[in-house]
Amino acid sequence: MQYAIVSYEDNTKLYGTKAVLNVWDPAIEEGAAEMSLAQIWIASGDYETADLNTIEVGWQVLPQMYNDIRPRLFLFWTGNTYRSGCYNVRCSGFIQTSGSIVVGGPIAPVSSLGGIQTELTVFVWKDRKSGNWWLSLGVSIVGYWPAELFTTLADHAAYVQWGGEILNKQPLGRHTTTQMGSGHFPDEGFGRSGYFRNLEYVDYNNRLESVPVQKLGIIVTNPDCYKVKHLFSDDWKTQFYYGGP
């Protein structure tokens, strides 16, 4: 896996996150069984202690699952460092309450270079009374992950991440041609690059707060191929562009 993401933790308990991201249809290396996605991660625990819990929401292009190369809304969860858990509603776990949103369904139209941007507004938050983690897209509540799915996420999240990920199987011994985001570098900016904007977190008092841009951590595993550029503005608040060819 290769990542271009930002992270926020700041030694505080987190109870959710909200962000807006644009949707693209990145090219996938033909025949390589690879994928490309953009998502949020809400997480607690870690690999070393084998107690990593995550909730993941975003869009992905994953031909081996969907038999096409269209970007699709996806969900994922694990309660034990990816030893179990699943995508979408393919196993018991996420409880869908909305009859109008197709989890795993294609997203169309996608953003166009230099043109109209298609966006998802993703909000995941914890109901402190029930312990369940809820998901909304835009103004629509989609459903929830029951509290009993988790251990380290049972009370709160330790950190939140946002960004892009691709699978690089190094076909023919070279770096993949699978793109991340729009397939363009962050410096190209609005209309040409993938972005996340208005990054927020839910604090202990159940309030949405803007993520401090100066406290973002940057994780880029292959900076020659995929990059991140973060900034702040009055309208988009804390934001970043990401991706590459």
Q: 30, 34, 148, 165: which one is catalytic?
A: 165
Is 188 among the catalytic positions?
Answer: no
Whether 186 and 193 have beta carbons less than 8 Å apart is answered as yes
> Which DSSP state fits 215?
G
CB atoms within 10 A of CB 148: 10
Question: Smallest Cα–Cα separation from 194: which of 175, 166, 217?
Answer: 166
Whether 229 and 172 have beta carbons less than 8 Å apart is answered as no
Is 209 among the catalytic positions?
Answer: no
Whether 22 and 183 have beta carbons less than 8 Å apart is answered as no
Q: 9, 56, 119, 200: which one is catalytic?
A: 56
What is the Cα–Cα distance from 3 to 223, expressed in whole angstroms? 9
Q: Which amino acids are annotated catalytic?
A: 56, 165
